[in-house]
Each structure stands twice: as C-alpha cells, then as structure tokens.
Structure 1
Amino acid sequence: MARIVICEFMDERAVARLEAAHEVLYDPQLVGDATRLRAEAAKADALVVRNLTQVRGELLAALTRCKVVGRLGVGLDNIDVPACEAKGIKVIPATGANALSVAEYVIASTMLLLRGAFASSAAVAAGEWPRAALGNGRETAGQTLGIIGFGSIGQTTARLARGLGMQVIAYDAMLAPDAPLFAQAGVRHAGLDELISNADAVTLHVPLVDTTRGLFNAARIGQMKKGAVLINTSRGHIVDVAAVSAALRSGQLGGAAIDVFDVEPLPASAALQSCPNLLLTPHISGVSMQSNERVSFMIADKVMESLK
C-alpha cells in the first residue's frame, strides 16, 4: 500500500477511490503550509497538486520516495518537470479533461463582450433605459475567432465556435501550417501576425514558456483590429494586463476577459478597477462541477496505475 498526499482540492469521490487502495492524506489547505507540506511530501509515494503547489526547490528535494506527481489540470509551469524526471518521478497532467469547461468559458466570454449588452441590469433597474447605447452590439455568427494554441482546448473551442457560425483561424507554433489537424477541424491556419490583425476575437491557449512570456504586450495589442476582444485563460505573464486596461480605456480593445494573472490571488489594482468592458475571474475557466469530476478521476486512475 502506497502513501498518497493530496494538497489541493480534489473531487472527494475520486479521493475515496484512492483511499480504497492506498493510504491517503487529503488536505486542500496543505498547500498553504510549506513546512508541513515538505514533511508530508517526504513520506509520499505520490503527490497530487493543482496550480498553486510549486513542485521545485525545497519541496522537490523533499520528495525522496515519490514515484509520481499528479497534476489536477494541464499547465505544468508550477512543476519542474525535467528535475522531476531526473529523480525518476513521473509527472501526469489531466490532458483534455477540462477542455470543454475552458472552451465554454471562452465562447461565453466572446458572446458577452461582442454583444456588450449584459452589464445593464443595475441601470435598467434604476429606471434608466440605455437602449441606444447598447443597441450596437455584434452578433457572434460571422465574426472571426483567432485561436492561438491549437491543442485539445483550442480544438474544442474551435468546434463550439463553428457551431455558432463563427469563422475560425488558428496558429500553433508547434504545428506546421499544413498540419492535417487544421483542415480536420474545419479551421484555416494563419500566421501569428495575420491572425492578430484579422480576428474579431483572440483567445490564448499556450503554455508559459520563454517564447510566450509577454506575448501580448502593448505593441501586439495595438496590432489587433480596433474593437476586437481578447481572452486569456492560459497563464499570467503572457498578457500585459496594464496594457489591456489602457487599450480598453482608449477603445483599441472592445473587450477583454482575463482569468489568469501574474500573481494569484490578484492584488488590488487601480489600473483594472472601473475599467470598461472587462471581465475578471479568479482562475476558474477550467473548473466546473463536471470538469473537476473528470480531472479528479482521470488523475486518480493514472496515479494508481503508476503505483502498481
């Protein structure tokens, strides 16, 4: 019987599946106690984390008997994967399990921002009637969605967008322009600059690496179509949020939805407060009742398989 430490939230039915076969410590608050986490990690054969746990440095050094790290999500920037592999630790992400949740968030945000009419409840309830101001919103059908990063989330987003009648163009630095995947998805490949300058909405689905850090700075946002919308559900540091705020206030951007930030939780920001046409959410695009279940059971099963 192996010992499994789970230091962030996980579907409790998936936890119970692990407990039926192994000794399990499940404490969603453990990530906030670095000293105790290191002590428990030293006794772990498997560690299960989300995005807050930094599996590197002292914590990684404490994993002296660990065989596998399960990641309840897909991004791996909080895990030193090469260092884990050098220690013989297998790193397992929940690839594809939260793709639908993120894709639905992207499509919903796109529709909200293009239409621009869904923040009027307080005004209407107060007796105002901003019909003229809100009557120029854009329908989603016929608009062009640009997807940067065409993995499982990007592909799922494309499928939903095409179902709404959107034109979809996509770019992925890891795929050749003539990769069959684009045609199979009914998507046209576009170069990065072409995509940015032609899309009515741009959504980001790339990992945080050297080539994507600062990808959407003020200059790149300035290359977007005037009035286009930008959605980031990938990672902080990819988008300059201060530049987004400035572009929203100037009208260069028609809207933005930001779910991920350089520092989380996001500190109070004067640049973002009272910013028009801005949706901010606390890193939840990939977290829904259903996706949490899919992610949790996928990782539970894969961790148990790796411990055999």
Structure 2
Amino acid sequence: MPLIYVTSTVHADTLAHAARVGDVVLGYGPDAVPFAEVQDRVDAVLLRAGAFGAAQMDACPRLRIVARHGAGFDTVDIPAATARGIWVTNTPGANSRAVAEHVFALVLSLARKLDIASAQTRGGAWSEHRAALNGAELHGRTLGLLGQGTIGRIVSDVGRALGMTVLVCDPAADPAQAGVVTFDRLLAEADVLSLHVPLLPSTRHIIDAQAIAAMKTGAILINTGRGGLVDEEALAQALISGKLGGAGLDVLEAENTDMIAPMAHNRLDIAGLPNLIVTPHVAGQTDEALIRVGQATVAQIATALSGGRPEFALNDPAGR
C-alpha cells in the first residue's frame, strides 16, 4: 500500500477516505509521526498547513504528489516539484460557500459593531455606551471585490441580495460586463472591499498605504484570501487614524502567533485595535466544507498514485 502523510488536522471523513487509498500516517495529534521518520517511504503528502519545498522533496525518493487541502498553493514550491516529477494539486471551489459566508460574518460584525457591543455587555455595560454603537446598513452601499473567482461570485450574489451595488476588479473579467471596473475606481468607490486574489509577487501588499489612502474614509476591508495581500503596518495606521472604519481578517502574514499579545512582527496589535476583527484562518472551516475539501484532496491523491492526471493539477511534471 502507498504511504500517505497527513501534515495537520483534517476531518475524520478525510482520513477514512485516505485509508482506502493507502496507509495513512499522521503528522499531528498524540500519535504524530515526524516527517523525517517516514520521508524515505512517503508516496503522497496531504498538505493542509505549512510549507513544502525542494529540500523536503529531495528527501522523498518515492513522492509522487503534494496535494493541498484547500485552494491556496503559495506554500508549495511548484517549479521544484515539476522538476522532480511530482504532482501538485489543490481543491478550488470546495470551500467557496463557507468562505463567502464568513466574509459577510465579518462585514456584518464590523458594520454593526457586534464585537465591541458584545465585549461591553459582557463587561457589565448595558446602556451606558449604546450611543457609540450606532451601526451602518449594507443596503445601498457599494461592495468592491478584488478578484472574481468562485468565492467572489458567491460574495457578489449575497451582496446584491442585501441591496448592495457590486463592483469587480479582475483582469480575467470581461471589461464589458456590468460592474467591472479599474483598480483605482474600485478603491475609490467601495464601502466594503473584499479580497479574493491569490498571493503572487504582483499581488503582495496590493493593499498598501497608497491603496488605503485612495479608499473611502470609513470603508471596511475584508481579507479571507492570503495575509500577504495587505500591508499590515499600513492597515494598523489606517484603523488607528479612522481612515478605515474597520477591517476583518481571517489571514495574517505571520500566523500561529499568540493573539493576546501584539503580533510577533510588531505590525498589528490585536488588543489595541477595537475596529479590527481577526479569526484564525477558519473561513473555510465548516463541517460541510471540510468534508468536500477532504474528499477532493484524496481524489487527487488516488488519481496520481494510480498513474492518472489529477483533475486539479497545478503543474505538469510528466509533460503530459
């Protein structure tokens, strides 16, 4: 049986499916096995968190596929994998609805100041500060989407259902399509700006101090994509100054850090920014989505191990 190494926590349904394809070794939990102990026997890596680069690939003479449990693929060295005959796959669209719903969980929480109101109420204040908790309705506001993939399309549908005007900036979109605008116009007109582009050299810090300065005063920024899309130091300054009314982040440049203390890279003080909501990269984490993503990931592994071309291949290691 081929050996499948699972790097971090996945749904039990995923493990059950993987066990039908090969011998499953877990890199997490009480029975975690260090990767170094099995790297010479690994045929497939199911990668949910962490990075996988050339050095790790070189240590795995039998490795045939690195299957990303999710849509993002910036944590895998794809050129290195291609050169070594290793497939790299992801699962686009499998958790799109979960992420889209999380976008609006963040938007509504910020627009109605739910996080602040809840904290004050839990602290014993019922009516003393209610005047400062006036919120904003989304109806009639403009929702700006940077990127129009599967998630962006669902977000736009929900926005329209709430009575919002939707603007989209995406180089792949038809410029004749209603609502498709330039990046500059998107920044200038969006009351809520939601990011749905991959992290590439061209998109790193695409929302920087200059972009924020071009946004509406009081606008809300949402990032459920990749942390590197936003210059967090510039974001912090905009939240402190009131240039932005709020921000909702499910991703950070430096993740897995202590959320109670200021960030290790000293750019975002979580506790000191009441108009910031941060969730720990869980936008796509619903039972339904995890089952779909897990099944799709294992399907990629099964296809690769049987000698086929995975449906969601990100490279072409065999030149096929």
Query: What's the TM-score once normalised by structure 1's chain length?
Result: 0.89
Cα root mean square deviation, aligned? 2.0
Alignment check: 8 A CA contact 2:152 2:196 kept: yes
The 1:170–1:85 alpha-carbon spacing in structure 2 relative to 1, beyond 3 Å, is same
Provide the C-alpha distance between the structure 1 equivalents of 2:165 and 2:250, rounded to a whole number of angstroms.
Answer: 24
Q: Say whether the 8 Å CA contact 1:96–1:152 is kept in structure 2.
A: yes
The reply on whether 1:119 has 2:116 as its aligned counterpart is yes
Distance (whole Å) between structure 2 residues aligned to residue 264 and residue 252 of structure 1: 25
Letter in 1 for 2:141: Q
Q: Residue 237 of structure 1 aligns to a residue in which SS?
A: helix
Alignment deviations for residues 244-274 of structure 1 (CA, whole Å, 9 cap, x no partner):
1111111110000111111111353264232
Deviation at 1:218, TM superposition (A): 1.3
- Give matches, 1:87-126, under 5 Å: 87-124=84-121, 125-126=124-125
Aligned residues: 296
| Alignment-derived partner of residue 70 in structure 1 | 67
Alignment of 1:93-172 (within 5 A): 93-124=90-121, 125-135=124-134, 137-172=135-170
On the 8 A contact 1:15/1:26 being kept in 2, the answer is no
Using a 3 Å threshold, how does the CA distance of structure 1 residues 189 and 9 change in structure 2: closer, same or farther?
Answer: same
Residue 277 in structure 1 maps to residue 275 in structure 2: yes
- Tell me how far apart the structure 1 counterparts of residues 115 and 226 of structure 2 sit (CA, whole Å): 26
Would you say the 8 A contact 2:4–2:44 is kept in 1?
A: yes
| Alpha carbons 2:116, 2:274 under 8 Å: kept | no
Task: Report the alpha carbon displacement of residue 126 of structure 1 after superposing the two structures with TM.
Answer: 2.8
8 Å Cα contact 1:203-1:230 kept in structure 2: yes
Runs of 4+ in 1 over 4 A off after TM superposition: none
One of 226, 238, 243 as aligned partner of 1:235 = 226
Query: 1:43 touches 1:65 (CA, 8 Å); kept in 2?
Result: yes
What displacement does 1:118 show? 4.7
How far off is 1:79 after superposition?
0.1
1:2-81 mapped onto 2 (5 Å cutoff): 2-28=2-28, 36-52=34-50, 54-81=51-78
User: Distance between the aligned counterparts of 2:6 and 2:39, measured in 1?
Assistant: 10
1:244 partner letter = L
- Within 1, Cα distance between the matches of 2:140 and 2:296? 37
Residues of 1 paired with 2:245 and 2:21: CA distance?
52
AA paired with 1:241?
A: E
Contact 2:54 2:80 in 1 (8 A): no
Residue 299 (structure 2) aligns with: 301
Residues in 2 aligned to 1:43 and 1:101: alpha-carbon distance in whole angstroms: 35
Distance apart, 1:21 and its partner CA: 3.5
1 or 2 for the larger relative contact order (CA 8 Å, sep ≥6)?
2
Q: State the AA in 2 paired with 1:61.
A: D
Confirm or deny: 8 A CA contact 2:14 2:294 kept in the other structure. Answer: yes
Give the AA of the match of 2:192.
A
Output one character per residue of 1:107-129: Cα deviation in whole Å (capped at 9) or x when no partner: 11112212225522343433443
Q: Residues 142-291 of structure 1: matches in 2 within 5 Å? A: 142-178=140-176, 183=177, 188-266=179-257, 268-269=261-262, 271-272=268-269, 273-291=271-289
Q: Which amino acid aligns with 1:235?
A: R
Structure 2 residue runs without a partner (length 5+): 307-320
- Which whole-Å deviations, capped at 9, do the CAs of 1:168-199 have from their partners, x for residues lacking one? 11111344423xxxx4xxx6101111001100
User: d(CA) in 1 for partners of 2:226 and 2:67?
Assistant: 19
Q: Is the Cα contact below 8 Å between 1:3 and 1:46 reproduced in 2?
A: yes
Q: Secondary structure at the match of 1:157?
A: helix
Distance, in Å, in 2 between the alignment partners of 1:88 and 1:127 is 62
Distance 1:41 1:140 in 2: 51
* Matched residue type, 2:81: C
Task: Provide structure 1 residue ranges, at least 5 long, that are not aligned to the other structure.
Answer: none
Whether contact under 8 Å (1:169, 1:188) holds in the other structure is yes
